[in-house]
């Protein structure tokens, strides 16, 4: 039994997901105690590691030592357990669990770290806490498998975003957080004291990704964007991880909308492939996607909504939340799609660098992707002509004085280009049907909270 | 010749790297004019796209139209060119260029965007500018192939970092930029006005990656870290893209140092595999790596340096820059390695959460990786016991009052754990032998510059 030598044991950890391949063998597992159930001389633990959950059987008649060691063990203790992997009887197999066909009969238990008594039960399938409690205890609540799974989906989304872009010849670049001024002239910008100067936090990588088109033609970035959002809604955070794409040598803005469709579909399909079990846990399925996501001009969408509901928002420069829901209903009923592109927003509603449609003056070559009743993504073609860009900025009262390197990119030959942007938290929320975007951010920041709740 | 129809042309762009597969055919290329040479009725352009450089021949006798169109074309014009791909004579082949065996005989040239006259020549193999000029014109200078190539290497480094971590079962998470207080009690922290409160910019994801060990056991992150570095050196920036790793259930701190060795070697080998051409352009090769990177305690290193140079820094709590260079010389001469781990820094020189070596009191289970004479990476085992952690923070005057969720991670069972961190700009600089870290940052920020130079 050379496996018993302490220095060898050290290297012999078996992940819980692997135990099923070691039936009848001695194995060492490590993880956190998820649940404990006492039945006299028989104690059951659910052990949780990064790969799954395993039933541990501590039987006083099998190992007195293990039974003694487990005496004070409570949920969230970190432990190392040596034991024999045993097949569970057919009628006790838990098919929903990766190691549900086996259990470990404990021979030896080592406590790696103790835990205080939990402030609430963490052992259920769901963690039914009010949002403030969930967030006040984020260092603990993130461990709950269903909460943690949200961030596995987020990882897949960001990862598959990168993969989709790479397949299309894009280069990933690093966009700065500290900027010389609010790039798009917005007011909701955080100011920082920068030595003897003022600087600001980037609300978007817009200027930088456009500069990078001049360097690599096709670029993408995963950014931290910061917005001094002065309201508390279920959809807004002050810190967001945005996914940005920008590329040049487009033939028309359709290249941009097509690329957006390709990327978002790739991401959604990746979730379906890689996180099917998590979708099941959250009781959701991926959005219905037609072969081609339907495209409507804003005015067409408003006309449809008017006809369907009698709500006349045909003069609005944007869709109201109820309109977003209605147009998605229409798309699902008529086009078999949970997603719909709404295009041609008025010039006045889009940033100064947005390309106006020469065939539809007053309206821009811009689009939003509306998914399951809410905005997912925004994009469009940009003005690539230097003089026009500068004129447009002036017309809108945007000061580009501190944006010299942005202007350079256009002064020295910028091809026709466009791009799009979306927030990873918003997409995570939508895919998993979460009610509040804070649930889709590991450490959400808003007016009222930066980790701790501000006391007023 | 259906290829001539404008609507078909649109979709027929050939990347420069692909032209070699279309000898004798009509092709459409797009890109920027890198160089222009006039020889009367014969004009040569070097055209640059994201895949490489191509010689364009504009012969007035072949196409009057193309010759007219090219009349005013200057460097950095964005153009679309239709022409015939021709093999170059053997003695004119440029083997250093991906399309150096062919050229395009222009039939038609369309100007997509004009460029003003360049402020300096961008056509040479090197862009020999003083650093301030290089940075003042970043929107232009980044386009130079040798400058751009720095950021292809950086992309590979970050990408291979992710790959290495994933191979070892790590989960990528998103670490916040806005934090409630300076995590490690440092003073060089940027403060932001956060509505009616104060908040700060993260100098490191340290607290958050440790929290995440409780969630996924093994985590990594690519972070924007911000440090109010009040000095101007060749090695420091105020904004850095750091690569961070943290993982639990370690058997000893050797697991941490071994993981660091694995990750860094994987990254360096990836550069060698994927960017060999760029290494050549920069006239560098990857660092020499021994089968096992040598490990020395700080005191052993100081003893070696004393013996080799007579410099007696044996009482210093850290290596001086000249010592870092000397110990790398020693490692190369004696161990055939450009890289060396220096371990066991004194307790006083490391953050409060660093694990003290019980077998070598006063010294920590921490390490720096010194490469080619400068610090590359820093890491170590952390204190995972809640009470010890809180005691240590108090002893060092660190206020953890606003770090409740950090404390929760330890209060509820944190297994033995450790990790490491390094800056992607620093590594890029070292691998490519750049003289200043600003060259390895797309948009470097320091005391004196956020895009624009501050005027005093």
Residue A315: what pLDDT?
93
> What does the pLDDT read at residue A7?
38
pLDDT band at A26 (very low <50, low <70, confident <90, very high): very high
Kindly state whether residue B348 falls inside one of the protein's structural domains: no
Closest chain B residue to A118, measured at CA: B412
Q: Which of B115, B169, B408 sits opposite A139 (nearest CB)?
A: B408
Do B92 and B183 belong to one domain?
Answer: no
CB contact under 8 A, A50 and B214: no
pLDDT in tens, B277-315: 999 999 999 999 999 999 999 999 999 999 999 999 999
Q: Which of B247, B381, B412, B425 to mutate to test the interface with A (most CBs of A within 10 A)?
A: B412
For residues B347-352, average pLDDT:
94
Q: Do the chains contact at A139 and B192, CB–CB below 8 Å?
A: no
Contact with chain B for residue A445, Cβ under 8 A: yes
Q: Does residue A295 lie in a domain region?
A: no
- For residues B213 and B175, state if they share a domain: yes
A49 interfaces chain B, CB cutoff of 8 Å: yes
**Do residue A254 and residue A155 come from a single domain?**
yes
For residue A399, give the nearest of A88, A178, A184 by alpha carbon: A184
Evaluate whether residue A26 is within a structural domain: yes
Average confidence score pLDDT of chain A: 94
CA atoms within 13 A on the CB side of A7: 0
Q: Which residues contact B157 (CB under 8 A, 6 or more apart)?
A: B267, B270, B271, B424, B427, B428, B431
Is the minimum CB–CB distance between B251 and chain A shorter than 8 Å? yes
Which residue among A30, A118, A143 places its CB closest to the CB of B215? A143
User: Do the beta carbons of residue A241 and residue A222 sit within 8 Å?
Assistant: yes
- Within a domain: residue B382? yes
- Classify residue A310 as exposed, middle or buried by CB count within 10 Å of its CB (0-12, 13-18, 19+): exposed
Alpha-carbon span A89 to A86, nearest angstrom: 9
pLDDT at position B65: 95
Residues of A in contact with B143 (CB under 8 A): 214-215, 412
Considering only CB atoms, which chain A residues are within 8 Å of B30? 249, 415
Per-residue pLDDT of A322-361, as tens digits, reads 999 999 999 999 999 999 999 999 999 999 999 999 999 9
Does some domain include residue A336?
Answer: no
Q: Model pTM?
A: 0.96
Nearest to A408 among B114, B137, B411 (CB): B137
Domain coverage including residue B77: 2-113
Interval B415-420 mean pLDDT: 98
3-state secondary structure of B406: helix
User: For residues B338-349, b (16+ Cβ closer than 10 Å) or e, as one string?
Assistant: bbbbbbbbbbee
The whole-number average pLDDT for the span B321-347 is 97
d(CA A372, CA A375): 8
Q: Are residues A108 and A11 in the same domain?
A: yes
Higher pLDDT, A7 or A262: A262
Specify the CATH number for the domain of residue A411.
3.30.930.10
Judged against a pLDDT cut of 90, whether residue B7 lies above it is answered with no
Same-domain status, B93 and B143: no
Q: What is the mean pLDDT of chain B?
A: 94
Q: What pLDDT does B2 receive? A: 37
Question: Domain check: are B108 and B196 in the same one?
Answer: no
Confidence (pLDDT) at B387:
97
Chain A within 8 Å of B303 (Cβ-Cβ)?
no
At residue B42, does pLDDT exceed 80? Answer: yes
Name the closest residue on chain A to residue B207, using Cα atoms: A139
Q: Do B178 and A416 touch (CB under 8 A)?
A: no
Task: Summarize the confidence of residues A115-127 as an average pLDDT.
Answer: 96
Tokens of B94: 């440029």
Domain identity same for A151 and A247: yes
**CA angle in degrees (0–180, nearest 5) for B401-B406-B412:** 115
- Condensed to tens digits (0 to 9), the pLDDT of residues A272-287 reads 999 999 999 999 999 9
Q: In chain B, positions 135-174, which contact chain A (CB-CB < 8 Å)?
A: 136-140, 142-143, 148, 151-152, 154-155, 158-159, 169, 171-174
Please give the pLDDT value at position B409.
Answer: 98
Please compute the mean of the pLDDT values over residues A232-238 and round it to a whole number.
92
Name the token pair of A256: 């941009």
- pLDDT tens for each residue of B117-127: 999 999 999 99
Contact B78/B112 with Cβ under 8 angstroms?
A: yes
pLDDT of residue A215: 98
Q: Do A50 and B178 touch (CB under 8 A)?
A: no
- The pLDDT value recorded for residue B186 is 62
Q: Are residues A266 and A142 in the same domain?
A: yes
Averaged pLDDT, A69-92: 96
Place of tokens 């889709």: A440
Is the Cβ of B113 closer than 8 Å to some Cβ of chain A? yes
Q: Give the one of A137, A405, A406 whose C-beta lies nearest to B408's C-beta.
A: A137
Give the CATH number for residue B41: 2.40.50.140
Indicate yes or no: CB of B443 within 8 angstroms of CB of A405.
yes
pLDDT at residue B330 greater than cutoff 70: yes
Percent of chain B with pLDDT over 90: 91
φ, ψ for residue A165 (rounded to 5)? -65, -45
Cβ distance A155 to B173 less than 8 Å, yes or no, reads yes
Please report the number of interchain residue pairs, chain A to chain B, with beta-carbon separation below 8 angstroms. 282
E-only strand ranges, B3-74: 26-39, 42-49, 52-59
Inter-chain residue contact B384 with A113, CB threshold 8 Å: yes
Q: Do B138 and A211 touch (CB under 8 A)?
A: yes
Same domain, B68 and B143: no
Is the confidence at residue B157, as pLDDT, over 50?
yes
Task: Give the residue among B377, B366, B382, B388 at the shortest CA–CA distance from B211.
Answer: B382
Q: Tokens 């399938």 — which residue? A: A125
The CA distance from A437 to A428, in Å, is 8
Least CA distance to A77: which residue of chain B? B413
Q: A49–B172: do the CB atoms touch at under 8 Å? A: no
Give chain B's domain count: 2
8 Å CB contact between B78 and A415: yes
Which residue of A lies nearest to B194 if distances are taken between CA atoms? A190
Contact state of A116 with B411 under an 8 Å Cβ cutoff: yes
- The pLDDT tens digits for A152-184 are 999 999 999 999 999 999 999 999 999 997 555
| pLDDT band (50, 70, 90) for residue B182 | low
Whether A76 and chain B come into contact, CB under 8 Å, resolves to yes
A112–chain B nearest CA distance, Å: 6
**Cα–Cα distance measured from residue B160 to residue A167, given in angstroms and rounded to the nearest whole number:** 17
* pLDDT above 50 for A2: no
CA distance B308 to chain A (A): 38
Least CB–CB distance from A211: residue in B33, B139, B226: B139
Tell whether B254 is within 8 A of chain A (Cβ).
no
Residue B185 has pLDDT above 70, yes or no: no
State which of B70, B98, B113 marks the end of a domain. Answer: B113
Residue A127 lies inside a defined structural domain of this protein: no
Q: Mean pLDDT, to the nearest integer, of B103-119?
A: 97
CA distance B140 to A215: 8
Q: Quick check: B406 contacting A, CB < 8 Å? A: yes
> In angstroms, rounded to a whole number, what is the distance separating the alpha carbons of residues B119 and B281?
24
Measured between CA atoms, how close is A334 to chain B, in angstroms?
A: 31
The reply to whether B173 and B268 lie within a common domain is yes
- Report the distance separating Cα A305 and Cα A326, nearest Å: 7
Question: Which of residues 345 through 384 in chain B touch A, CB cutoff 8 A?
Answer: 384
- Residues A16 and A156 reside in one and the same domain: no
B194 falls within a domain: yes
What pLDDT does B3 receive? Answer: 38
A321 at interface of B, judged by CB pairs closer than 8 A: no
Contact call for B212 and A152, based on CB within 8 A: no
pLDDT of residue A3: 38
A452 close contact with B: CB closer than 8 A: yes
Q: Are residues A268 and A404 in the same domain?
A: yes
pLDDT at A56 over 50: yes
Give the closest-approach CA distance of B131 to chain A in angstroms.
15
Is A362 a member of any domain? no
* Test mutation, A50, A198, A258, chain B, max B CBs within 10 A: A50
């Amino acid at each position: 039994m050379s496996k018993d030598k302490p220095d060898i044991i050290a290297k012999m950890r078996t992940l819980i997901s692997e135990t099923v391949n070691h039936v009848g063998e001695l194995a060492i597992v490590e993880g956190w105690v998820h649940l404990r159930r006492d039945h006299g001389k028989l104690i059951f633990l659910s052990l949780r590691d990064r790969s799954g959950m395993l039933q541990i059987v501590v039987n006083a008649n099998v190992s007195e030592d293990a039974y003694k060691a487990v005496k004070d063990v409570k949920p969230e203790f970190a432990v190392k357990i040596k034991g024999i992997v045993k097949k569970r009887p057919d009628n006790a197999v838990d098919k929903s669990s990766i190691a549900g066909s086996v259990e470990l009969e404990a021979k030896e238990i080592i406590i790696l770290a103790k835990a205080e008594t939990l402030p609430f039960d963490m052992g259920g399938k769901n963690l039914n806490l009010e949002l403030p409690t969930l967030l006040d205890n984020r260092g603990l609540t993130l461990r709950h498998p269903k909460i943690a799974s949200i961030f596995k989906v987020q990882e897949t989304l960001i990862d598959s975003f990168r993969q989709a872009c790479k397949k299309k010849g894009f280069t990933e670049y690093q966009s700065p957080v500290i900027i010389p001024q609010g790039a798009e002239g917005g007011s909701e910008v955080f100011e920082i004291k920068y030595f003897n100067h003022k600087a600001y936090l980037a609300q978007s990588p817009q200027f930088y990704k456009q500069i990078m088109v001049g360097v690599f033609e096709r670029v993408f970035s995963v950014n931290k964007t910061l917005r001094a959002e002065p309201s508390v809604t279920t959809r807004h955070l002050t810190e967001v991880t945005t996914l940005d794409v920008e590329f040049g040598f487009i033939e028309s803005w359709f290249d941009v909308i097509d690329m957006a469709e390709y990327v978002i579909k790739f991401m959604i399909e990746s979730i379906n492939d890689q996180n099917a079990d998590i979708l099941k846990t959250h009781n959701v399925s991926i959005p219905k996607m037609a072969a081609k996501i339907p495209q409507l001009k804003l005015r067409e969408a408003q006309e449809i909504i008017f006809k369907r509901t009698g709500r006349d928002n045909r003069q609005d420069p944007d869709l109201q939340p109820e309109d977003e829901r209605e147009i998605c209903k229409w798309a699902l009923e008529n086009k078999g799609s949970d997603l719909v592109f709404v295009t041609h927003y008025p010039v006045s509603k889009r940033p100064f660098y947005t390309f106006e449609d020469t065939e539809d003056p007053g309206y821009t070559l811009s689009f939003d992707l509306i998914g399951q009743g809410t905005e997912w993504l925004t994009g469009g073609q940009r003005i690539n002509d230097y003089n026009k860009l500068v004129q447009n900025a002036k017309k809108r009262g945007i000061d580009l004085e501190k944006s010299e390197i942005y202007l350079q990119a256009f002064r020295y030959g910028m091809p026709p280009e466009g791009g799009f942007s979306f927030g990873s938290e918003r997409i995570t929320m939508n895919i998993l049907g979460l009610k509040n975007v804070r649930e889709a951010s590991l450490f959400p920041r808003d007016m009222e909270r930066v980790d701790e709740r501000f006391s007023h």
